[in-house]
Amino acid sequence: MDVTWYIVLSALLFAIGAGGVLIRRSPLVILLCLELMLNAGNLALVAFSRSSGNEEGQVFALIVMVVAACEVVVGLGLIVAMFRRRIPLNVDDIRELRG
Amino acid sequence: MVEVAFFAGAIGAIGGAIAVIALRNPFYSVLALIVHLTSLAGLFLLLYAEFIAAAQIVVYAGAVMVLYLFVSAYVGAAEEPLWETIPGQRLLAPVLAGALFIEVSVAVVGTSLQAVESEGPTVQAGFGSPGSIGKLLLERFLVAFEAASLLLLIAAVGAIVLAARKRERKRTPEVAA
């Protein structure tokens, strides 16, 4: 299998994630779509690491996973805080910062 | 054989990803994401990234997804409005996502990188094993490793600060002075 297949697959997964962010309005699902995009990036990193034959890309993928875990923790904390304060869980209704 | 494994993993990953954005209940979306992550781990194995695949299953599909499941069960299914806030959004978003896919694919397929159009060089035994990844992490990428651990600590503290229930200040009963 050419590495190109993996890269094109990762592009497709990234596009699906980006489309999900545009379509869905629930912050929880938007976080899930961010996970999709980060994982597509991970797949591309690992595929490039295979094509160049050294393992540094895999280390990058590991660090991306750490960053994704941090993002999840903070994002879920925000969602729980919104739920507790009875703020509607819809990204269109949250517009206090709009100018 | 490799082709069969690749296409099985790819179909699982794409199907899981589409299910994540198509299912209306966030709980089912999280379950679909677990399918997606597991098939992605299979693809990592095909790319000789054993340690990344194992970490993907244990950390991602295990720990992080359990966190998601708890929060989505706690918050419940928030009904999404049927109307569109921006007119034509539901129609335009898939078109834009398709355009993004075509653009990136053209960039990848038209690249002049020679190495991408092959299976990649033959690798020595132990490529992507925990030992060699750990060696890289603790030697060449030590600063990134330490920064990542610091980031995790900050994120944990931040999540507690964000989500902790504000302790309601109990009105101190008037003390008869």
B24-69: per-residue pLDDT in tens? 888 999 999 999 999 999 999 999 999 999 999 998 888 899 999 9
Q: B115 to chain A: nearest residue by CA?
A: A51
Residues A1 and B2 sit within 8 Å (Cβ to Cβ): yes
Distance, in Å, from the CA atom of B45 to the CA atom of A64, rounded to the nearest integer, reads 18
- Tell me which residue of B157, B133, B158 sits closest to B145, measured CA to CA: B133
Phi and psi at residue B127, in whole multiples of 5°?
-70, 125
- Tell me which residue of A24, A53, A52, A51 sits closest to A36, measured CA to CA: A24
Q: Check CB contact of A51 with chain B, cutoff 8 Å.
A: yes
Q: Check CB contact of A97 with chain B, cutoff 8 Å.
A: no
CA atoms within 13 A on the CB side of B7: 3
Contacts of A68 in chain B (CB under 8 A): 60, 64
CATH tag, B1-77: 1.20.120.1200
pLDDT at B160: 87
Q: Check CB contact of A30 with chain B, cutoff 8 Å.
A: no
Other beta carbons within 10 Å of B97: 22
Residue type, A14: F
pLDDT at B177: 52
pLDDT at B75: 86
- Whether residues B21 and A24 touch (CB distance < 8 A) is answered with yes
pLDDT at A1: 76
Q: Check CB contact of B100 with chain A, cutoff 8 Å.
A: yes
Other beta carbons within 10 Å of A35: 25
Give buried/exposed letters for B46-83 (b at 16+ CB in 10 A, else e): bbbbbbbbebbbebbbeebbebbeebbeebeebeeeee
List the pLDDT tens digit at each of the 99 positions of chain A.
Answer: 788 889 999 999 999 999 999 888 888 999 999 999 999 999 999 999 988 888 889 999 999 999 999 999 999 998 888 888 888 888 877 777 776
Ordered structural domains, chain A, with CATH: 3-84 (1.10.287.3510)
pLDDT at A97: 76
| Surface-to-core class of residue B84, CB atoms within 10 Å of its CB (0-12 exposed, 13-18 middle, 19+ buried) | middle
Q: What is the mean pLDDT of chain A?
A: 89
Q: Check CB contact of B80 with chain A, cutoff 8 Å.
A: yes
Other beta carbons within 10 Å of B37: 23
- Whether residues A22 and B64 touch (CB distance < 8 A) is answered with no
Distance, in Å, from the CA atom of A59 to the CA atom of B76, rounded to the nearest integer, reads 36
List the pLDDT tens digit at each of the 177 positions of chain B.
Answer: 888 999 999 999 999 999 999 888 889 999 999 999 999 999 999 999 999 999 999 988 888 999 999 999 988 876 666 666 777 777 888 899 999 999 988 888 887 776 667 777 777 777 888 898 999 889 999 999 999 999 999 999 998 888 777 666 665 666 555
- Whether residues B104 and A24 touch (CB distance < 8 A) is answered with no
pLDDT at A15: 94
pLDDT at A42: 94
Q: A20 to chain B: nearest residue by CA?
A: B21
Q: Which of B84, B109, B152, B162 to mutate to test the interface with A (most CBs of A within 10 A)?
A: B162
pLDDT at B78: 66
pTM: 0.88
Task: Render pLDDT for A47-67 as a digit per residue (tens, 0 to 9).
Answer: 999 888 888 899 999 999 999
Distance, in Å, from the CA atom of A87 to the CA atom of A78, rounded to the nearest integer, reads 11
CA atoms within 13 A on the CB side of B96: 13
Q: Check CB contact of B106 with chain A, cutoff 8 Å.
A: no
Helix (H) or strand (E) holding B133: helix B130-139
- Whether residues A50 and B141 touch (CB distance < 8 A) is answered with no
Tokens 């931040």, residue? B158
DSSP state of B129: -
Q: Check CB contact of A32 with chain B, cutoff 8 Å.
A: yes
ipTM: 0.91
Q: What is the mean pLDDT of chain B?
A: 85
